[in-house]
A and B are shown apart, each in its own frame.
Chain A
């Protein structure tokens, strides 16, 4: 049995696909954010796998920045969710289709 780079790529692809699927299927905004986190994690797995296999630090530095971007995205996204909750009682994405005001 060998754990080659292809395995990590396959796992990363599956995880990314699940994230996309959840983002497209779910309507709860918070769960949709979680699915974005899944996709970022899939990218992180690919980055770290390539970094280790190529013996290059670039992938690990990229993971670092992905973490920062994920944190910033969650902060702003949840701020938007809180702001929406002020005027609507639910966080269903279909209801947020007006950009007025």
Chain B
């Protein structure tokens, strides 16, 4: 069965994965009338996939609202997370491990 993603608002340039997906087509439910997107990599449930190309510095939009900005060019179908999207406020989050979210800036010694 094809993995599903959900686009919350028609202005959103990302959708949230409802299932873990493999590279390949993912059904897009929700707002905006887009049928599917081709994921360029495996993406976990709850994470975001880009629905369109996003230039570096441009807003990432979810819920119809800006949730941060692209830190590098993002292709349609790419996983959008800490490696290519940053908060406009929270600087520490850019230092976290992209897979686990664990901090990398605290010493244990």
Q: Are A and B subunits of one complex?
A: no
